[in-house]
Amino acid sequence: MAEINPAFVLQSIKNVSFENREVPKLRDEYDVRVHIEQTGICGSDVHYWQRGRIGDFILNSPIVLGHESAGTVVEVGSKVKNIGVGDRVAIEPGVPCRHCGYCRSGSYNLCPDTIFAATPPWDGTLQKYYVVAGDYCYHIPNHMSAEDGALVEPVAVAVQICKVADVRAGQTVLVFGCGPIGALCQAVAKAYGALKVIGVDISKSRAEFAKTFGADGIFIPEKPLDSNVDPVDASRATAETIVEQFHLGEGADVVLECTGAAPCIQAGIFAAKKGGTYVQAGMGQENVMFPITTACIRALNIKGSIRYTTGCYPQAVELVASGKVNPRSLITHRYKFEESLKAFEVVKTASEDTLKVMIAGVQ
């Protein structure tokens, strides 16, 4: 009997199912086939499941979910040189065209023709076998677990955010959000030598976790007692409190916004020092009220960050392998492949005690 390839498939909005598909074939001599062993659930996976789109990426046909994965190579194309059968690898889930100006400059995260796992119309990694370009697989050492390997993906996102911000030793870094990406940004910033890293979150449990993970200090904003207070003025007051409480002088050298929430975006601008850097990584409402005059007067360097660029994945593997960043401590829930829907429901609920949810691969 021919081997089958069980997969967790998003058929349409809020409609998922398990399918037994054919084992995928290598598309060319540079591809490899990986037996997926662990997959982390990302907010984008849940977003496609619940809403069917993120920006211009719209679900028009069924796709396999999942893109944070690691596993063991079981087949390699004839021209693959960097890895072989039996190697344990972390998978970088986006393979660009390699030929456009963005790719040639190293900013392949901007390539319009990227094949990105679980981004319509491309299948993701929540299946027994996944085929990907061999050079987008990275060896993980024996002391790293498959869970560590899967979580290299969000670590690489944090590496990219810190790269965009040009985080350097001796700087003060303020991070809005203590969820997985925010907490990882805090840990990466500390690994890069930041003098002081402050995490901000409305969740007390997440903030307290961040203090044990990568933050030197945490701040939990309080809702204004007066409901008539202008929201932007409230955000300014929050920023001033943070700057004063953590002795940030004229403001933080670097602000990393990892929530997408309007109050955090506003407070981040107000908390940055003159000439400082503000990086937007969180995605929430598509349009928010933005204190642009303050940004101009303070001559802030405002940047956006998405996915990862040249060197981020190898750097992420090294940070995890060296123990400087320990993403496994983010894991709060573990599920079998057959429990994938339950795992997604847990992430959708977004309770305070949920950070990273992992799904084991098909044996």
pLDDT tens-digit profile of 279-305? 999 998 889 999 999 999 999 999 999
User: Pairing relation of β-strands 272-280 and 252-257?
Assistant: parallel
pLDDT of 64 > 70? The answer is: yes
pLDDT of 312 > 80? The answer is: yes
> 127 and 176: one domain?
no
Tell me if 282 sits within 8 A of 260, measured CB to CB.
Answer: yes
pLDDT of 23 > 90? The answer is: yes
> 35 and 72: one domain?
yes
> 193 and 275: one domain?
yes
> 177 and 230: one domain?
yes
Mean pLDDT of the chain: 96
What is the pLDDT averaged over residues 62-85? 98
pLDDT of 13 > 80? The answer is: yes
> 146 and 161: one domain?
no
CATH at residue 39: 3.90.180.10
- Residues 319-336 have pLDDT tens digits of 999 999 999 999 999 999
Q: Is cis: bond before 96, omega within 30 of 0?
A: no
Is residue 313 assigned to a domain?
Answer: no
> 125 and 195: one domain?
no
Q: Which two tokens stand for residue 39?
A: 């997959």
Is residue 316 assigned to a domain?
Answer: no
Reported as a pLDDT band with limits 50, 70 and 90, residue 55 is confident
Last residue of a domain, one of 256, 271, 304: 304
Is residue 318 assigned to a domain?
Answer: no
> 80 and 45: one domain?
yes
Is residue 88 assigned to a domain?
Answer: yes
> 295 and 252: one domain?
yes
> 296 and 164: one domain?
yes
How far, in Å, are 266, 274, 282, 301 from residue 294 at the CA level? 10, 10, 20, 12
Residue 216: its pLDDT value, please?
Answer: 98
CATH at residue 234: 3.40.50.720
Q: Of the candidates 106, 153, 88, 125, which has an alpha carbon nearest to the alpha carbon of residue 317?
A: 153
Reported as a pLDDT band with limits 50, 70 and 90, residue 210 is very high
Tell me if 183 sits within 8 A of 159, measured CB to CB.
Answer: no
What is the pLDDT averaged over residues 260-282? 98
Is residue 207 assigned to a domain?
Answer: yes
Lowest-confidence segment of 47-56, 61-70, 162-171, 219-228 by average pLDDT: 219-228
> 169 and 280: one domain?
yes
Q: How many helices (H) and strands (E) does the chain have?
A: 11, 20
Is residue 10 assigned to a domain?
Answer: yes
Residue 26: its pLDDT value, please?
Answer: 98
Residue-range definition of the domain harbouring residue 341 = 4-150+326-360
pLDDT of 1 > 80? The answer is: no
Tell me if 138 sits within 8 A of 26, measured CB to CB.
Answer: no
What is the pLDDT averaged over residues 229-245? 96
pLDDT of 358 > 80? The answer is: yes
Q: How many CB atoms lie within 10 A of CB 49?
A: 23
Residue 140: its pLDDT value, please?
Answer: 98
Residue 225: its pLDDT value, please?
Answer: 66
Is residue 70 assigned to a domain?
Answer: yes
pLDDT more than 70, % of the chain: 99
Total domain count for the chain?
2
Helix residue spans in the chain (DSSP H) = 43-51, 101-105, 146-150, 152-165, 180-191, 204-213, 231-245, 262-271, 292-297, 312-322, 340-349
Is residue 321 assigned to a domain?
Answer: no
pLDDT of 106 > 70? The answer is: yes
> 281 and 354: one domain?
no
pLDDT of 2 > 70? The answer is: no
Tell me if 92 sits within 8 A of 313, measured CB to CB.
Answer: yes
Residue 201: its pLDDT value, please?
Answer: 97
> 134 and 167: one domain?
no
What is the pLDDT averaged over residues 230-254? 97
What is the pLDDT averaged over residues 27-45? 97
